[in-house]
């Protein structure tokens, strides 16, 4: 009998941004599929909650409190995780301001987390895979914001566009080592990061985004996590350098 494609038994995954939202959903689903999941985030309380959820579901996980902008901490955490098969780089921040009002500090912060943080994680995971001559799968988190210009999202969109190019470049460089690299570009997903308004404003925003989708709803973190599971599993063994868009069928997200 062939191995079930989504079975991740005996595989180890490292997930950044695992304390909440999409990162937590990815950690929970990969653990449910059989992987040992190393959960990384700067939010220690959120990480503990994620670990407890995995444990309650009879999964296996470890936590690493770190800031992905600190390359030394990322390097140490990845090294402490042992032999990794999977890396999912989710950690990110949102910033909203017009181009004319964007400060150097705003730009530096968003690029540091949303681009450099992804680079740090991918680089360290790939180095380990290459050193032991093992195949692997890296998944980065882009955004529907790369497909259309959105007022107020210069920093965020630019960083996510850089992630797309990083993904494609890594795919070409790491393919000869048997390492696949793909990105996920979600549409509007209901997460703590997108819930930045009061309840009434949040409801109006989600209703407006839902109307753009043929499915008539906004996404949930689990919608993205299932896309990630596909990309890290044997089901996508011949897929690399691709950008998958779980966005409810919205052609232009904005």
40 backbone φψ class: left, alpha, beta (φ>0; ψ -120 to 50): beta
In-domain check, residue 95: yes
Digit-coded pLDDT (tens) for 137-167: 999 999 999 998 888 999 999 999 999 999 9
Structural domains of the chain, count: 1
| Residue 2: per-residue pLDDT | 62
In-domain check, residue 254: no
Digit-coded pLDDT (tens) for 82-139: 999 999 999 999 888 999 999 999 999 999 999 999 999 999 999 999 999 999 999 9
Rounded Cα gap, residues 2 and 85, in angstroms: 20
In-domain check, residue 179: yes
Does the pTM exceed 0.85?
yes
**DSSP secondary structure letters along the chain:** -PPPTT--TT-EEEEETTTSHHHHHHHHHHHHTT-EEEEEES-HHHHHHHHHHHHHTT-EEEEEE--TT-HHHHHHHHHHT-S-SEEEE-------B-GGG--HHHHHHHHIIIIIHHHHHHHHHHHHHHHTT--EEEEEE--GGGSS--TTBHHHHHHHHHHHHHHHHHHHHHGGGTEEEEEE---SB-STTT--S-HHHHHHHHHHHHHTSTT-S-B-HHHHHHHHHHHHSGGGTT--S-EE--STT-SS--
| Residue 253: per-residue pLDDT | 44
In-domain check, residue 210: no
In-domain check, residue 77: yes
- The pLDDT of 170-184, averaged and rounded, is 98
Q: Are 229 and 27 in contact (CB under 8 A)?
A: no
Answer yes or no: 156 catalytic: yes
Task: For the chain, give the mean pLDDT.
Answer: 93
In-domain check, residue 168: yes
Q: Are 173 and 240 in contact (CB under 8 A)?
A: no
In-domain check, residue 252: no
Of the listed 38, 156, 163, 230, which one is catalytic? 156
Digit-coded pLDDT (tens) for 13-41: 999 999 999 999 999 999 999 999 999 99
In-domain check, residue 159: yes
User: How would residue 197 be classed by pLDDT, with cut points 50, 70 and 90?
Assistant: low
Q: What CATH number did the domain enclosing 81 receive?
A: 3.40.50.720
Residue 47: give the domain boundaries.
12-190+221-242
């Amino acid at each position: 009998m062939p191995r079930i494609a989504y079975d991740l038994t005996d595989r180890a995954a490292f997930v950044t941004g695992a304390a909440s939202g999409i990162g937590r959903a990815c950690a929970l689903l990969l653990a449910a599929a059989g992987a040992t999941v190393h959960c990384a985030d700067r939010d220690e309380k959120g990480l503990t909650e994620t670990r407890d959820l995995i444990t309650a579901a009879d999964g296996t996980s470890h936590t690493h409190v770190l800031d992905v902008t600190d390359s030394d901490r990322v390097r140490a955490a990845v090294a402490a995780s042992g032999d990794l098969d999977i890396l999912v780089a989710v950690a990110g921040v949102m910033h909203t301001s017009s181009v004319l009002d964007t400060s150097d500090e705003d730009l530096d912060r968003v690029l540091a987390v949303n681009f450099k943080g992804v680079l740090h994680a991918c680089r360290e995971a790939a180095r380990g895979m290459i050193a032991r001559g093992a195949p692997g799968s890296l998944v980065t988190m882009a955004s529907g914001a790369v497909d259309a210009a959105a007022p107020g999202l210069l920093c965020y969109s630019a960083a996510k566009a850089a992630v797309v190019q990083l993904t494609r470049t890594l795919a070409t460089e790491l393919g000869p080592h048997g390492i696949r690299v793909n990105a996920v570009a979600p549409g509007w997903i209901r997460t703590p990061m997108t819930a930045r308004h009061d309840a009434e404003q949040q409801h109006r925003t989600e209703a407006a985004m839902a109307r753009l989708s043929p499915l008539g709803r906004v996404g949930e973190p689990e919608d993205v996590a299932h896309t990630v599971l596909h990309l890290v599993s044997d089901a996508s063994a011949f897929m690399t350098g691709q950008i998958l868009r779980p966005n409810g069928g919205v052609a232009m997200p904005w």
